[in-house]
Amino acid sequence: MIRVRMPDEDITFTDLIRGEITFRAGTVPDFVIVRGNGVPLYTLVNPVDDALMRITHVLRGEDLLSSTPARSRCTATWWTSGSPSLVPEFGHMPMVTGEGNKKLSKRAPESNLFLHRERGFIREGLLNYLALLGWSIGPDRDVFTPEEMVAAFDIRDVNPNSSRFDLKKAEAINADHLRMLPVGEFVARMVPYLHESGHLSSADPQDLTPHEEQVLAEAAPLVQTRMNLLGEAPAMLGFLFEDDHGYEFDEKALAKAPRERRRDSRRRHRRAGGPGGLRRRAPAGGSPGEGWWTRWASSRASPTARCASP
């Protein structure tokens, strides 16, 4: 077994985020780098691997701060051997907490990037929010583009205090980025979600039918200012791609409308051949109809649209 003896004096290093940090002599015990069977341990192979790869910066969580003196002791060996360029700079990132201010586990839903993508976060929105967990581009400014972040970011500006992952704020940031997208780009990013829900014929915007393109081109601006996540697209727009016969009246919603509008709503829908309703029902099969969209586009302010409850 090979063990490294810690020095009898204080160990001091400069952290990129926290400044100068000192560990008093005697507070860090000697540590093993090679087992008795000759197998090297992580405490040895990690700094050696970083040196071989010419690693210049080591950024890791603040929970590993206590192990840095041992790492510094190993890197000091490289310094005395005449290779100062092999000694990396250390920065210990602030902890991110979740519910109950507990450390955010890698198994927590908030840590799952694939789940965020499935829910409809876009790259710009999620990257923006993650950057805010310990850093800010400027006072009273929360929304910025990836290009602006790259130009302004400096690891020394990161706040060492822990941050809490706030899902509602992340969704609000994402909503701001959705509104910043050109309408054409917004439509292109919605298409896969509408295809996954069975409302569109293709996940590729280039392969949509003329009718689907027309519906999306006219309806997208109406929901872009209301959408927080792309995953909300099927609930907001899916009814435009379904048959009239898939809807029936929501009597509770209709009861709140003036009597004249209620009569007009029933009359309009019966003329369209529907069963008398606008509440969504499970489709019986077949391709989505175009009748509802045609009437909706030509009369967006109709009482019928106000009483619809997909």
Over the stretch 3-46, which tens digit does the pLDDT of each residue have? 888 888 888 889 999 999 999 988 888 888 889 898 998 888 88
Most trustworthy range by pLDDT among 110-114, 226-230, 257-261: 226-230
Percent of the chain having pLDDT more than 90?
Answer: 46
Candidates 3.40.50.970, 3.30.420.40, 1.10.8.70, 3.40.50.1460; CATH matching 181-241:
1.10.8.70
74 or 197, which is more confident: 197
The answer on pLDDT for 127 being more than 50 is yes
Average pLDDT of the segment spanning 175-199: 96
pLDDT of residue 268: 59
CATH number of 99-177: 1.10.1160.10
**Residue ranges covered by each domain of the chain:** 2-93, 99-177, 181-241, 244-307
2-93 domain in CATH 3.40.50.620?
Answer: yes
Average pLDDT of the segment spanning 197-201: 92
pLDDT of residue 172: 97
Q: Is 2-93's fold the same as 181-241's? A: no
- Per residue, what are the HEC states of the chain? CEEECCCCCCEEEEECCCEEEEECCCCCCCEEEECCCCCECHHHHHHHHHHHCCCCEEEEEHHHHHHHHHHHHHHHHHHHCCCHHHCCEEEEECCEECHHHCECCCCCHHHCHHHHHHHCCCHHHHHHHHHCCCCCCCCCCCCCCHHHHHHHCCHHHCCCCCEECCHHHHHHHHHHHHHHCCHHHHHHHHHHHHHHCCCCCCCCHHHCCHHHHHHHHHHHHHHHCCCCCHHHHHHHHHHHHCCHHHEECCHHHHHCCCHHHHHHHHHHHHHCCCCCCCEECCCCCCCCCCHHHHHHHHCCCCHHHHHCEC
pLDDT of residue 126: 96
